[in-house]
Amino acid sequence: MNSRHIFAVITCIFLGCSSDSNSNNGADLTLLTGEQVGQILCPFESACDGRDPGSCVRNYLDDDFITDIFLAERLRASTLASCVQSANSCEDYQRCKGTEDCQVSRCDGSTLLECNDGKIRPRNCAAEGLSCIGATCGVPNEVCTSEFACSGDVFLWCPGDGQEIPIAVNCAVLGKSCSNGLCTDQSSSSCTEGTCGADGVSLSYCVGGVPIEGTCANLSESLVCEVGASEPNCVANPTECDSLDGDTCEGGRFAVSCRNGKQYRVDCAAAGAECVLPDGSSIPTCEIPG
């Protein structure tokens, strides 16, 4: 893990779920794997926003998805993907991203109207077992007094940048409890090294002597855990490709990319596009004909 991930691991929480729904007070939270999100969003992000499909795929297969460092980010990506799944054009895709202009995030009852890239995208705080407070989903009457804390089964994080309202995650929604400022489903509170679980897909990073759980299933159902030189990793078994080979087009339809020995195909046709290599470029892109 790089320094950004180590900092985030220490300060955030991690899920232990793959593509599923977690219920809290009757509200469902649908969490997709990184592979599922990439397969749905990357054709449109490339064809409509001009993003490199390979880097798009790798973004959703990032270490953050293994351990679900940012629950809100994963929920946001899953919700957007669920909408884009039925899109047939860039116009449909843009409507899913939001059409109402904004400058700041605000509350509308229990819904947080998040301002992302100048467009409003709703986030249902109640579905996460939280309340909409100010411009975030949080816990009423809780203010920042320490960096990490628990309020019942809600994890509270104050990053120390002058933030008054803690970033909150309801551990109970994830089937876990809050203990010592972390969401956990394990009784152990100390470790000396990272390990792979007996199921072959779960893993535990050891950061500052604290075990942080995750699962390769959050990335893809076909990845397994393997202990590397310094920490556990999620890899393909058997290996399908070499990450050094570079991205390419396949059949004029698929943008093909490799990550941790697994091959991923972005179906440009899902966005009404074709996979092409622009003049003078070795990086494929999804391009709408005409």
- Per domain, the residue ranges of the chain are 1-97+190-290
Q: Please give the Cα distance from 56 to 85 (Å, whole number).
A: 16
Of 95-104, 107-116, 165-174, 217-226, the one with minimum mean pLDDT is: 165-174
Distance of CA 281 to the CA centre of its chain: 29
* pLDDT value at 53 more than 70: yes
Q: Whole-prediction pTM value?
A: 0.77
pLDDT tens column, 158-190 = 877 777 888 888 888 878 888 777 777 665 567
Residues 6+ away with beta carbon under 8 Å from 290:
none
- Tell me phi and psi for residue 252, to 5 degrees: 70, 5
One-letter identity of residue 113: L
